[in-house]
């Protein structure tokens, strides 16, 4: 490659990006925008079928190339492409294609975009299920939010999900982590070397200059892809516990719930008489967020950081959430709204913010300051490029230092290779 040739990047997506449907896709698109800003040559591939709200990447100058699981056609494809960097979107793609990438392009930098630590989210979901079985109390869930990192580790360590996910982190040269809490958990509890991790939070391209004023806003809003389990659980908790308490104090209030891929079970909750309105997918999430006075996000489990809450800050909309919702999003700064651990406390905070214009304006400004302090693409974009370039320059030493990752690649890739080849041979006989 000549010194002036553009860096070639191959992204292997778990799904085709839908930035208007999920924060995970939005974060991936932000990363792609940073790469495009460097003039890099980008190819996006996925074994998934295109979704209803798929982004047209070709408009941005990104090639779209479908690929197949358990098919040696990928070997020929990547060998011809010869990328300098391969970005796996979620650890399952590294499991499926990592051995092929290493076999065909051993000098390519292998990067994992985690979106969130899925094994942490699954462990927290299991803890919620156990709590719901143990008690009929639908108000106070403070015990869910209390565990320290050691307890989170204990809930994850014996699970297959954690073993698979953390092995993938080891096998890659660098993993992009959206949450500082998850970096701390991985380093201090699971023993991952910090050199394998890079903090890359949500990084919107543009910051707000003005907001829709308090007097021109009305109603409460909740938004989130219904295929994401924490969002559906939050809708159920609002329906059964939070929203009735808000309506007691604000009888005319309305809650508008938006989300991609609304299932029949969610549509069945639609009840205009109770002010509980399931609105389906929002064509423009920022427009509906800007029209709302309060964003409700009562998440009882989850991981990563929450795109809906960043969107609320971008729109100047105070939000009411739980410690899980606010986790790793505001550092030592005040939350731009309220954080509570029970349905009654969430409802009380939401009603107060809805009615108190001075408090509402104060929290709106806190959100603006938080965006400027933690989420500027002008800061995180260059930091990401610098880290990637450092890894490419020092790749041989980084891999020598990561003996555990090399050992895991050796054993995992051999077994995965033989299984994939067996499946491919079997498929030819069908």
Mean pLDDT to the nearest integer, 158-165? 96
Please tell me if the domain spanning 8-119+150-203+377-429 has the same topology as the one spanning 214-374. Answer: yes
Gap between the Cα atoms of 377 and 30, Å rounded: 8
Q: Which strand ranges, in their side-by-side order, compose the sheet holding 41-46?
A: 63-66, 41-46, 8-12, 85-89, 109-113, 174-177, 197-199
Which residue, among 44, 92, 100, has the nearest Cα to 72 in the 3D structure? Answer: 100
pLDDT for res 151: 85
Kindly report the CATH class assigned to 214-374: alpha beta
Task: Determine which of 48-57, 159-168, 414-423 has the lowest per-residue pLDDT on average.
Answer: 414-423
Mean pLDDT to the nearest integer, 125-153? 92
**Residue 411 burial class via C-beta count within 10 angstroms: exposed 0-12, middle 13-18, buried 19 and up:** exposed
DSSP 154: H
> How far is residue 268 CA from its own chain's centroid?
27
With a cut of 50, say whether residue 424 has pLDDT above it. yes
Helix (H, G, I), strand (E, B) or coil at 341: coil
- Per-chain mean pLDDT for the chain: 95
Q: Which two tokens stand for residue 367?
A: 């959100």
**What pLDDT digit, counting tens, does each position of 273-288 carry?**
999 999 989 999 999 9
Scan for tokens 């979901």, then name that residue.
125
Rg (CA), the chain: 22
Q: Which helix (H) or strand (E) holds 133?
A: helix 118-134
**Residue 331 burial class via C-beta count within 10 angstroms: exposed 0-12, middle 13-18, buried 19 and up:** exposed
**What pLDDT digit, counting tens, does each position of 319-365 carry?**
999 999 999 999 999 999 999 999 999 999 999 999 999 999 999 99
- What number of CA atoms fall less than 13 Å from residue 234's CA on the CB side? 30
CATH superfamily of domain region 8-119+150-203+377-429: Glycogen Phosphorylase B; (3.40.50.2000)
Q: Which two tokens stand for residue 179?
A: 């949450």
Domain boundaries, given as residue ranges, for the chain = 8-119+150-203+377-429, 214-374
């Amino acid at each position: 490659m000549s010194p002036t040739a553009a860096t070639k990047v191959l992204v292997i997506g778990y799904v085709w990006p839908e930035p208007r449907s999920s924060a995970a896709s939005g974060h991936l698109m932000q990363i792609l925008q940073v790469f495009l800003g460097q003039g890099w040559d980008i190819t996006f591939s996925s074994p998934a079928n295109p979704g209803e709200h798929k982004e047209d990447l070709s408009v941005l100058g990104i090639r779209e190339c479908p690929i197949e699981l358990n098919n040696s056609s990928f070997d020929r494809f990547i060998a011809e492409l010869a990328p300098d960097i391969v970005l796996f979107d979620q650890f399952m793609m590294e499991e499926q294609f990592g051995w092929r990438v290493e076999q065909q392009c051993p000098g390519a930098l292998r990067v994992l975009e985690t979106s969130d630590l899925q094994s942490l989210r699954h462990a927290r979901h299991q803890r919620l299920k156990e709590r719901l079985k143990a008690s009929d109390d639908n108000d106070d869930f403070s015990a869910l939010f209390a565990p320290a990192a050691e307890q989170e580790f204990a809930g994850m360590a014996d699970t297959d999900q954690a073993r698979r996910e953390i092995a993938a982190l080891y096998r890659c040269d660098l993993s992009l982590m959206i949450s500082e809490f998850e970096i701390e958990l991985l380093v201090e509890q699971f023993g991952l070397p910090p050199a394998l991790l890079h903090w890359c939070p949500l990084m919107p391209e543009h910051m707000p200059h003005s907001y829709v004023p308090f007097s021109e806003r009305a109603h409460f809003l909740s938004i989130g892809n219904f295929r994401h389990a924490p969002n559906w659980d939050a809708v159920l908790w609002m329906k059964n516990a939070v929203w009735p308490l808000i309506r007691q104090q604000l009888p005319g209030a309305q809650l508008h719930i938006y989300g991609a891929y609304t299932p029949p079970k969610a549509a069945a909750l639609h009840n205009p008489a109770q002010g509980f309105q399931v609105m389906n997918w929002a064509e423009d999430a920022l427009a509906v967020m800007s029209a709302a006075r309060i964003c409700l996000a009562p998440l009882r489990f989850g991981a990563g950081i929450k795109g809906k809450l960043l969107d609320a800050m971008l729109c100047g909309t105070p939000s009411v959430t739980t410690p899980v919702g606010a986790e790793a999003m505001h550092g030592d700064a005040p939350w731009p709204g309220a954080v509570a651990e029970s349905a009654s406390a969430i409802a009380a905070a939401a009603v107060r913010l809805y009615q108190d214009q001075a408090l509402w304006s104060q929290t709106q400004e806190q959100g603006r300051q938080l965006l400027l302090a933690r989420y500027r693409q002008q800061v995180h974009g260059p930091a990401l490029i610098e880290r990637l370039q450092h890894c490419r320059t020092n790749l041989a030493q980084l891999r020598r230092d990561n003996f555990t990752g090399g050992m895991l690649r050796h054993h995992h890739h051999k077994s995965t290779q033989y299984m994939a080849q067996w499946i491919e041979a079997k498929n030819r006989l069908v």
